[in-house]
Amino acid sequence: MRRPLLAAAVLWAASTVPARAVDVNGSVRAWIGSVDAGGLQSDEEDRAFRLTLTQELTPWLSIFGSFRATNFRTTFGPGPTFERTSEQPEIGLAYSRRNLNGRLLFSDRAIRTTDESQDLDIRTFLASLDWRPRRGPRLGFRLQDSTSTADAVLFGRDTASRSLNFRADYAKATWNARYFFDVTDITNNNTGSSLEQSRHELRTGYFESLWDDRWSIVLDARLADVRQVQEAAAGATVALPLPAAQGLFAIDSTPALGELEPAPQLIDGDTAQPAAPGVEIGGANTFRNIGLDMGVSRPVSALEVSVDTPSGPVVWQVWQSPDNSSWFEVGPVASDFDAGFLRYNLRFPETTAQYFKAVNLSVNPVLDVSVTEIRALRAAGALERTEGTGSEYWLNLQTSLQATERIEVSVGANLRRDQDLVATDVRRSYDERGLSAQVRSDLGANLQLRLGYRIAELDEKVEPALERRQETATAALDWQPLEAVGVLFTAQQRDETDGAQLLSATDSLTLQAVTRIFPDLVLNSTFGVADTSNLLFGFSQETRFVVETVEARPNDRWLLGGTLSRHEYDSAGRVVVTFRTGARLRASWFATPFLSLSGEWGRSEDDLGGTTTRRLGAQWSPGPKLALAASFFETDASTGGGTSNLAFDGSYRLNRWFRMWLALSEAESLIATQEPQTTEALRLGISAIF
């Protein structure tokens, strides 16, 4: 009852002030679809509505309100029906003058699903004030009272959160300072967990350039005092989110071998927007390798894969790797889908590695499901009650000196102790220490030498303790003998230790040559050797590789490219692959300003078999109203796995507000010795913006 009353209050408040025009905008989207997944028929419906009203009361004061609603419904033939509904009314007051800004906001979001245990009620009251005087520090105040906004893996569902924040900023030409004071109170009566925390924090920054800009210094420092009391139910176990260095992704029907490409948006913290490049796991789009680089070897016992829409049950595999090349399966894996938070929870026995990935191995009865985020977690026991105070500090120093015209020296140092909240316990001694140095020397007009060294230490003393130390030394020689030829020789040594025990060691040599044969024809050649020893996984490996890449643009309409590669391995231990070869061709043709075609073919082979990949695409926009696109993607392995997708999309804009669209797709998945599974879908929709 509360949400309809709040929505009515928004409309009434705006209509009772007729002195100024009301700014109204919104959008409507609706589509219906039919899906045939291996003989299982299902019908889908999706509707979304948004309305925003803003009424200016005075030149400085305005009232605003909005109402958002979504509804997703799918019926599986004569079987069950799944439905997810979200409604969110919002009302607020905004004040804005030259030096003073204020805002009051109340929102109430209700998420209802077929499974009542996954329902969510998210209510938020927010008050903020920002004052920017002409002289003196900038001051800010923020008060928030909400439910179900705290991380559910730490505190459980239906958690009440209250926070008060005060901020003061002051900035000059070469330095700045900030002071923060935060009070946080988090309570969950269902799980018995709670947190009361107060935090004082001072941040300073300094920049100076000396000796005619030949010497620069950049310093950032933070110091915080934290006091907190935490409680948890006896014997409670929580999942601790772990930091990741990089998100990774690839489509590979042979998950045991192969590198994943960087995908930073998979770990950017945005669980609402699909990551780019698109990671589609709806229908028969299987063998999506969604991964993480943890930076160092870490114990992990769970992965979370967040998506942008309600999804169906999926079979998952989890793999681990020491080098983002050779992968080893982790099992058994238990998984479930949370329809409230829109995420898959994958749990498995705790294992230690630097790289992890989740691979989907079954047809999803729901189409158009895109991954937005992946996160690694580690299960840990929670203390029943903890009280403590502590200091946190963070220091980062970077300095660069142009000693002579040919020599530049850079030194960096960082020191950090982090006692921020983690579940119902504190990282009482989470220490990071790092030191780096680089030297660049111009040996000649076209010859440059670069030397680098970095040491990084990580120390987590809260049980289960973790201690890591990484040392990396690099030497690079950059030579340009001709204007069209560039050569780069790199040598690197990297060691990772756990206390006094060596976990892994890698030595590598790489030679890269870039030759611009013609202005629009470039040849890139890479040769290298690497020697790796990994005690965690019990193997050693020597790798030799060569990669040749050609990029050409014969005219304004054509883009051509190709790659040939070969890797040879001499291994002892768990890795048994001795070679891997690869070939890839790609082309794009911009036939007219309205028509473009693209294609790609790839083939890789190793001891276990071969994999072929094909990709075709076409886009045609004959005018401002009509747009058509078609795409085909296929990957198949000689070992029996494969996936393909054929899609057609068309849209027609009736006018500046209304658009109609049609989508047809057919996807097929072949997993090992199973029968091929095919998904066919038809969708028709309309959208309006006003």
Torsion on CA atoms 470, 475, 476, 477, rounded to nearest 10: 180
What's the CA gap between 470 and 454, in Å, rounded?
A: 8
Closest CA to 41 of 684, 683, 685, 681: 681
Region label for 222, one of left (φ > 0), alpha (ψ between -120 and 50) or beta (otherwise):
beta
Q: 442 has which bridge partners? A: 448
At residue 380, φ and ψ (nearest 5 deg) are -150, 150
What is the amino acid identity at position 70?
A: T
What's the CA gap between 606 and 308, in Å, rounded?
A: 36
370 within domain boundaries: yes
Which of helix, strand or coil describes residue 342? coil
Q: Which DSSP state fits 275? A: P
- Predicted pLDDT of residue 421: 47
Instruction: Work out the number of other CB atoms within 10 angstroms of the CB of residue 336.
Output: 12
Tokens standing for residue 406:
């040919």
- Predicted pLDDT of residue 318: 97
Q: 504 has which bridge partners? A: 496, 534
652 within domain boundaries: no
pTM: 0.85
Tokens standing for residue 606:
């190793």
660 within domain boundaries: no
Tokens standing for residue 547:
């990669």
- Predicted pLDDT of residue 233: 67
Q: 439 has which bridge partners? A: 409, 451
- Of 50, 83, 109, which residue is a domain's last? 109
72 within domain boundaries: yes
User: Does residue 337 contact residue 260 with C-beta atoms inside 8 Å?
Assistant: no
DSSP states of 501-541: EEEEEEEEEEEEEEEEEETTEEEEEEEEEEEEEETTTTEEE
542 within domain boundaries: no
- Predicted pLDDT of residue 458: 86
647 within domain boundaries: no
- Predicted pLDDT of residue 427: 44
Report in angstroms the alpha-carbon separations of 688 from 51, 309, 337, 474.
12, 20, 32, 56
Closest CA to 128 of 149, 145, 104, 147: 104
- Predicted pLDDT of residue 54: 95
Q: How many domains does the chain have?
A: 2
User: Does residue 603 contact residue 582 with C-beta atoms inside 8 Å?
Assistant: yes
Quickly tell me which residue has 């102790």 as its tokens: 417
26 within domain boundaries: yes
- Of 79, 109, 139, which residue is a domain's last? 109
- Of 52, 87, 109, which residue is a domain's last? 109
**What is the residue range of 312's domain?**
240-381
Block mean pLDDT (10 aa), the chain, length 690: 51 53 93 85 92 94 96 83 93 94 95 87 94 91 86 75 94 94 87 84 95 93 88 68 90 87 92 89 90 91 94 93 89 91 94 94 87 90 69 92 94 84 47 94 93 92 78 97 96 91 93 95 97 86 96 95 95 78 97 96 90 96 94 88 92 94 92 80 94
CATH for 255: 2.60.120.260
- Predicted pLDDT of residue 432: 87
What's the CA gap between 307 and 371, in Å, rounded?
A: 4
Closest CA to 528 of 514, 513, 515: 513
Tokens standing for residue 653:
């804009």
- For residue 666, the surrounding DSSP H or E stretch is strand 658-670
309 within domain boundaries: yes
What's the CA gap between 627 and 625, in Å, rounded?
A: 7
At residue 15, φ and ψ (nearest 5 deg) are -80, -15
User: Does residue 549 contact residue 523 with C-beta atoms inside 8 Å?
Assistant: yes
What's the CA gap between 255 and 333, in Å, rounded?
A: 16
